[in-house]
Chains A and B, each alone.
Chain A
Amino acid sequence: MKKYLLLLLIIFISVGCSSNDSSSSESNGSSDNGDGTTLEVWWNVDQGEDRSGYYDAIEKYQELNQEVNINVQVLPYEQLKQKLTTSSANGNPPDIAQGLAEWMADLNSMGTLHHLTDFVNEWDEKDSVPQAVWDSVTMNEEIVAFPSYIGTRARMYHEDIINEADVALPETWEDLLTVGKELKEAGIENPFGISATSARAPQELAVYMWSNNLEIAEEISDGAYQNTWQEDESQLERATEVFQFYKDMLEQGIISQNQTSWGYQELDQNFAQGRVAITQNGPWIQGYEEEQPEGMEDVRVDGVPPYNETPATFLEVAQWYVFEDSDQKEAALEFLKWMGSKEGQSIYAKGNRTIRNDMDSEGEWNVAFTEIAEHGRSWPAVPMGGIIDAMTESIQKVLLGDTTPEETAIWLSDQINQSLEENNLLSE
């Protein structure tokens, strides 16, 4: 009896642990069997109504290319990044993934991204995508990602609040401090809205830095970077001004004390409810029109966020990545080529947030965001993980801590250079 049991167990273990062609290829993320090609795509796009274009585009592509099957896996951004990192490090990434601009340098430094320079140069529609967009996906003169959609941050406000208080829209920081004070006197709890935590906080801080003619990390020589604020007195002064601006906003009540812990959810929610008069925000806020029709009724978009020296805004270029370890790179590139085409973009981007410059923007919102794209700036081409964390902490230091704006600027400069050094990118 024991012998039979043992035999049975061995059979179970052998069957259980043996691989099955179909299942192993599925778990591997990609397959190229006799019936066609299955492309594994990881992204964070859920099947919400406002994002239906993404799925319609995939359906259309499969219709046009019967031999291609696209297998989509949806993950929230944070999980997506983790999964991409670990799967890439273990040589088992998907064929394609859609990610955020700040991931590009990290993934490229890991050596996992398939470089697309030759592919893009051979693409006859390359010129339909603005050079600024190509620049944003270029590292060390190599195109390492394909643009997926673009988004900018614009000045956004509640027209009724502005009209009732009878104030002019602020163009500059100085204007904002003056107008903010007037709005405060008129009883507005949050004249201006900021994010002091979450991924949005460093993006907003970067806009203020760029608008005060500052660089986060400057390329000193080929592939070597440095934060130079402490090398140049005028730069340190300008960096100090940025943090002083945050401090002034808090001290003068332009932003409320509660905002020191706001992330993007709190900012968006409060703005959509009409509890924040003016802010800098992206096109996604339009999605609140259904949820908060009353609060959103008087929302208007125009121009870049308040600036000091130079008009600037955050240019968010979401990206497609093709991985070096994918054995279906050709099929993946064909898919991206179609997604970047006029046909693909008309379905995928539905006339807004398109990467192409030969398509008409539809609606007041899209026009406003497209108009300010020329002022768009993106992250420097260095790994941003440590830098972003330090940027968020620097905002909290100046708003919550007892650190002076100048000390905060010096601290952040040190943190940026330390991060560059840890990644062997600091200029000697």
Chain B
Amino acid sequence: MISFLKKHTIAYVFMLPAVVFLILLLLVPIINVFIKSFYESNLLIVGDDLFIGLQNFINVMQDPLFWTNVKNSIVYTFGSVGGEYVVGLGTAILLNQNIKGRAFFRGAMIIPWVVPIVVAGMTWRWMLNPDYGIINVLLMNIGILDQSINWLGSETTAMFSVIWVNVWRSFPFYTISFLAVLQTINKNELEAAEIDGANMFQKFWNITFPKLKGISIILIVLHLIWTFNNFDFIWILTEGGPLNATETLAIATYKEAFMKYHYGTASAISVLMVVILIGMMALYFWLQNKQEAKGDN
């Protein structure tokens, strides 16, 4: 043990600043949120917080709006991740072909990812504007629409529009990741399959797609977490409206904490978000393992 410590002391000392910052900036706030969720904590009432056990959780779950928020969060998360996956994979396959101007397209494709979220959000808000937004003008000019649609202001189209914008923003991350893996695939393998009579779809399904499995798991898990917790795009585009049609749990947490100053309730919603995310991850890995076991048999 002593020789182990002697051998690794310098490594631990070098790691120490990072560990300290990690504890201070991540662990302490997270623990604080968990503790606060058991207290009645209202910034507008001067005095000590009152321990109320699970009451915050009961209040939150008894509010019908919470379940609307859960539904919206799930629709937004799965809609976004699904859309990003399909668009990202499609563009990666296209950009992996020998096409003219490939370098240019690869560079241009990254633009949505590098544009700051606030700028992208404001720009899309104007583009989707029903009075003079370019999207409505284009759709009407080419005859798809008879009259403009209030994309962000209607309960039926708001969620779709927010997902659309989020897909536009995030798909380049998928494209780059998929492209990196696609470039490692041995061309001989594909040629051999072609000689054996495999068509394009069979080559993709049996050779290319299995090789994307590892990166897919990473991308899906990461984006499920990021999208479920995403706040900025929705806030900039709709602020959770109209009539709570795009109000996710992240938006509800913000409203409770920074508009109503109910830190206890906001913390309870945050803890429930963590629980839901853990549940989603567990389900994903369980399905994954089940499929692998099936494949092995």
List 16 interface pairs A-B (beta carbons < 8 Å), by A numbering.
A5-B10, A6-B13, A9-B13, A82-B258, A85-B261, A110-B261, A258-B131, A261-B242, A385-B261, A388-B259, A393-B244, A396-B241, A396-B243, A400-B243, A422-B42, A424-B45
Q: Are B129 and A385 in contact (CB under 8 A)?
A: no
Does A178 sit within 8 A of B, measured CB to CB? Answer: no
Q: Are A109 and B155 in contact (CB under 8 A)?
A: no
Shortest CB-to-CB span from A291 to chain B, Å, is 15
Partner of A85, one of B9, B43, B150, B152: B43
Q: Are B45 and A385 in contact (CB under 8 A)?
A: no
Q: Are A389 and B259 in contact (CB under 8 A)?
A: yes
Does B210 sit within 8 A of A, measured CB to CB? Answer: no
| Residues A423 and B44 in contact in the complex (CB < 8 Å), given A2-B10, A5-B10, A397-B243 | yes
Question: Complex: how many Å from CA A149 to CA B257?
Answer: 29
By a beta-carbon cutoff of 8 Å, the part of chain B in contact with chain A is 9-10, 13-14, 16-17, 42-46, 129-131, 148, 150, 152-155, 239, 241-244, 255, 258-262
| Contact mask for chain A residues 1-34; partner B; CB cutoff 8 A; 1 contact, 0 none | 0100110011001000000000000000000000
- Interfacial chain A residues near B150, Cβ < 8 Å: 257-258, 260-261
Q: Are A386 and B243 in contact (CB under 8 A)?
A: no
| Residues A396 and B242 in contact in the complex (CB < 8 Å), given A89-B43, A110-B44, A261-B153 | yes
By a beta-carbon cutoff of 8 Å, the part of chain A in contact with chain B is 2, 5-6, 9-10, 13, 81-82, 85, 89, 106, 109-111, 197, 257-258, 260-261, 266, 270, 275, 383, 385-386, 388-389, 392-393, 396-397, 400-401, 419, 422-424
Which applies to chain A's interface (DSSP): helix, strand, loop or mixed? Answer: helix
Question: Complex: how many Å from CA A385 to CA B256?
Answer: 9
Question: Which A residue's beta carbon lies closest to that of B148?
Answer: A258
Q: Are A389 and B255 in contact (CB under 8 A)?
A: yes
- Interfacial chain B residues near A13, Cβ < 8 Å: 16-17
Question: Complex: how many Å from CA A252 to CA B9?
Answer: 78
- Interfacial chain A residues near B45, Cβ < 8 Å: 109, 423-424
Question: Which B residue's beta carbon lies closest to that of A197?
Answer: B241
Partner of A110, one of B9, B10, B43, B239: B43
Beyond A400-B242, A419-B260, 17 additional contacts (C-beta under 8 Å) are: A2-B9, A6-B9, A9-B13, A10-B13, A81-B258, A106-B44, A110-B44, A110-B46, A257-B150, A258-B130, A258-B148, A261-B241, A396-B241, A400-B154, A422-B260, A423-B42, A424-B45
- Interfacial chain B residues near A111, Cβ < 8 Å: 46
Question: Complex: how many Å from CA A401 to CA B242?
Answer: 9
Shortest CB-to-CB span from B138 to chain A, Å, is 17
| Residues A401 and B243 in contact in the complex (CB < 8 Å), given A2-B10, A6-B13, A110-B44 | yes
Question: Complex: how many Å from CA A396 to CA B240?
Answer: 12
Q: Are B44 and A197 in contact (CB under 8 A)?
A: no
- Interfacial chain B residues near A106, Cβ < 8 Å: 44, 261
